[in-house]
Structure formats: structure tokens, C-alpha cells
Amino acid sequence: MYEANWNSIKKHTVPQWFLDAKFGIYTHWGIYCVPAKGPNATWYPYNMYIPGTEQYEYHLKTYGGPEKFGYKDFIPMFTAENFDPDEWAEMFELSGAKYAGPVAEHHDGFPMWDTQYGDWNAAKMGPQRDVVGLLEESIRKKGLRFMVAFHHAENWWFYPHWIREYDTSDPAYTGLYGPIHNLEGPLNDTWFFNQDRPSQWFLDRWKARMVEVLDHYQPDLIWFDFGLRAVPEAYKLAFLANYYNRETEWGREVVVTYKDHDLAPGAGVVDLELGRMSELTYYPWLTDTTVDDGNGWGYLKDTGYKSATTVVHYLIDNVSKNGHLLLNIGPKPDGTFPEEAKEILREMGEWLKINGEAIYGSTTWVHFGEGPNIITKTGSFNEQNVPSFSAQDVRFTVQGRTLYAICLGWPEGPVTIETLKTLWAPEITSVQMLGVDQVLEWSLSERGLTIVPPSFKPCNHAVVFKIERGSVFR
């Protein structure tokens, strides 16, 4: 049994299913997808109340200002009339993801399940459906692991309770906007950590809602946003012990992810929002990013999208460095997905169908890769520092004695991989390209391993050389 202290919690190990999965999908879907105005869709409910922000100005012109039309007034427009959980799950499966699930509750304080802790939720308002429960059932039917994301610790400071003409200061709506406090207003740019600390009532509800999700939906993975850092340690430890002890009850292993040092290192898997590592690490880590090309997270009416190549390369680069990828999609208010997002998932699935053996169940090699285009910055929010990759950029993974050299582009002629000069020729039994039923020519010299690629490429985005190695010892 796990106890509510770090010594005990840190004995929990990352389960093999997660280490093997590499790729998951989650969805930011809530009231905020109705206005669908950026730059960050999920922060619309905050910024619409703050004069001077882009979303406040949009709200003023479109809806008449927050004193006339509050965030709660979007709920009847969040209809979800075309929401089909089975269709969502099928799309996740075809993308090649091994786990998937929704944001169960975002900063806005609107749970997406039928909670007993308040009437402001998707089962009683808006969609009038238990979104979390329906997705849990459909996702598991596809053989995928089920995850949920929690952001609701941020609800304490998310809305301005000090502006009297706004509905956020009306006691009738505290079920959505949170208990009224901090009536003096923001103190500085990081005011959410300097205002009144969360009350015991708020913290008890924070924990109770998560335990309710455990009881009803048994998630395999829980993802925490940055508000976790403002939750007292005793509450975090009590919840972690509760969740990790569910493994015995449920008969399967679970995962927690967190940001920065919101938990003690080793208590879960660290998550880098919109970021990655520049080097190979000794511990597993996760990137959460989104299909749009900015920081939109939820559905936006006007946004660009990452290319499928960018996302495939993201996955490959992460896996070569002991990382994983969690990809977000923002559905529309009616429950359908933008076509651009669906195309990215389709192309991801096609690539993984051919090359998945170099990703799923793989582990890192002694080098993560080589090439002229390198990532120089480690950490979150560094996607703008990532170069465009080419066929000269190679990433490595291994399965047993098989080494995979993944070229992040199509080599037009023989490719020499300098790092592989450390191999010993007698150990190489064959070289092939995944998706091509042909043994390739190769040679090993002090310059590296030179491989002659086949005459046609089996897929887009990246190609994988499969280097079989036998034992040279008797």
C-alpha cells in the first residue's frame, strides 16, 4: 500500500504499458469552444473579463461586453448535437494513439461528467451528456487506455470576482466561477499565486471531483496542469496515494503526469508543455502539444495547423530521447473535428502503420541521433526554437538487437550515418527499410554506415532503416 508521503509515493514505477505506448491523444472540449477566439481558446473565459486583451475586445464587439453577456451565457450554445464518442474513439485508434481521453475539467469550472459536486456540468447543461463516461466506454472498446486531464485547481483564481458589474461576482454563479474571494483585485503579473490561498472547501471539492472520476471511470492516466503547484502538499499526497493504491483494486497500473516541480521528482512523469528535451535523458518524459500551429488548445475558427510531417517528427525526436507525445485536438461545439485535425491524425496513423515497430515498445539507444539540425533548448514552450529537419537528420531507437535509424526525410541517394561507425561489421546481418520487402546494400567504414536506399519511398514524412544485428560472441 502506498502512503501519503514522498518516500512511499516515489516507490511507484512508470508502468510498462506507458513506456511502450509512446503516443496518446487528448481533447480540449468545453464551453470555450463556442466563442472559439484565440490566441488561446481555453483562456477566453479569463480574458473576456479583462479589458485590454484581444479576447475582451472581441467579446465587446461580438456579444456586447461581459457585463451584458457572461461566460455562463455560452452554455446553451454548447450543444454537442453531433457528438459521437464511437467516432471519436475510432479516429483515435486509426491515428495510432495507444491511449486517449478528454480534459475532464478545465480552468473554467465546468466538469465534463455527471458530477454530484455541483450542477454546473456537461451532463446537466449544454450537451446534457456525460462526456467523460461516454468516451471512457468507447475508447476502451477500441482497446486503448483511457486518460483524463485536470486543470480545475486553477478555477480558484481564474475569474475576476472583484468587478461588481460582472456575473463572476454574483453569488448565484459560484458553482461555475468559484467561491467569491480576492475582492481587492489582482496584485501583479503573477497574482494568482499571491492572492488568497484556496479555501479548505475549494480544496476538498477539488479532491472530491477527482476521486469521483476514479470511482466511476478508472482512468489509466491522469494529467495535471500547472495549478497543481498551488495545492497544499497534503492534498496532493493523499490523492496520489489513493490513485496508486487503485492499481491493486483495478488490476492494472496507472500513470500521473505533472509539470515543473509540482510533484517531487520520481512521483510521476514530468510533462513539458509545447516543449521537449535537447538531449537523451535517463528518465521518461512527456510533451503535450496541439495540432494547431500556435497555442490555441481548444477549437478556433481562424487558425493554422501544424503539418503532419511536423507532428511525426515531433514523435520521433521525442522517442529517440526517452520522451513521449501527447497530442491535443479541439473539437467544435457540435462535437465534430476540424478537417485539418482529422487529416493530421490520418497521416500519423498511416506512418505508424508502416513504421510502428521503430516506435511502439522501443527503447533508446546510446545516442539519440545525428544531423545538421539540432534542438538546442530544453524545456517547455520552445517549439519556436525547433528547426526544420531533413534526410540528413537521423534518430535512433532499438528493439532487442535490432537498431532503427530513422531519417527525417527521404534520402535521394546513399546515406552515410556517421554515428554508426561504432558498429562492428560482423554483427550486422541485414539492413532493410520498413515498408519495403527488399534487403539493402550497405558498407561500414571509418566514415560511418553507408546504406543504399530502395528505388521508391514507402511513406511520407520519415523513413526507417532496420538494422538487424546478430551476436558475434560464441
Domains of the chain: 6-273 (3.20.20.80), 369-469 (2.60.40.1180)
What is the DSSP secondary-structure string of 329-376?
Answer: E---TTS---HHHHHHHHHHHHHHHHHGGGTTT-B--S--EE-S----
Instruction: Please give the pLDDT value at position 135.
Output: 98
* Alpha-carbon gap, residue 53 to 225, rounded angstroms: 23
Query: How far does the chain reach from its first CA to its final CA, in angstroms?
Result: 46
| Geometric angle at alpha carbon 56, from 161 and 186, rounded to 5° | 35
- 341, amino acid identity: A
| Best CA proximity match to 166, nearest among 51, 85, 248, 54 | 51
Q: How far apart are CA 286 and CA 93, in angstroms?
A: 20
pLDDT score for 182: 74
From CA 42, how far away is CA 121, in angstroms rounded? Answer: 16
Q: What is the pLDDT of residue 256?
A: 98
In terms of C-beta density within 10 A (0-12 exposed, 13-18 middle, 19 or more buried), how is residue 143 classed?
exposed
Strand pairing category for 442-445 and 448-451: antiparallel
Phi, psi of 116, rounded to the nearest 5 degrees = -85, -10
From 323, 237, 460, select the one nearest 22 (Cα to Cα): 323
Report if pTM > 0.85.
yes
Residue type at 131?
V
Q: Which long-range contacts (CB under 8 A, 24 or more apart) does 187-192 make?
A: 191/157, 192/154, 192/156, 192/157, 192/158, 192/230
* Three-class secondary structure assignment of 38-95: CCCHHHHHHHCCCCCCHHHHHHHHHHCCCCCCCHHHHHHHCCCCCCCHHHHHHHHHHH
DSSP state of 266: T
d(CA 433, CA 106): 43
Contact 440, 433 (CB under 8 A): yes
What pLDDT tens digit does each residue of the chain (474 aa) get?
999 999 999 999 999 999 999 999 999 999 999 999 999 999 999 999 999 999 999 999 999 999 999 999 999 999 999 999 999 999 999 999 999 999 999 999 999 999 999 999 999 999 999 999 999 999 999 999 999 999 999 999 999 998 889 999 999 999 999 999 876 666 455 545 556 789 999 999 999 999 999 999 999 999 999 999 999 999 999 999 999 999 999 999 999 999 999 999 999 999 999 999 999 999 999 999 999 987 899 999 999 999 999 999 999 999 999 999 999 999 999 999 999 999 999 999 999 999 999 999 999 999 999 999 989 899 999 998 889 999 999 999 999 999 999 999 999 999 999 999 999 999 999 999 999 999 999 999 999 999 999 999 999 999 999 999 998 665
Give the per-residue pLDDT at 170: 96
Of 223, 405, 245, 251, residue with least CA distance to 324: 223
CB 39 within 8 A of CB 295: yes
Distance CA 233, CA 229 (A): 9
Task: Name the grid cell of 354.
Answer: 508502416
CA-nearest of 287, 377, 373, 299 to 331 is 299
Calculate the alpha carbon distances from 31 to 70, 289, 291, 313 in Å: 12, 21, 19, 32
Cell 473535428 found at: 337
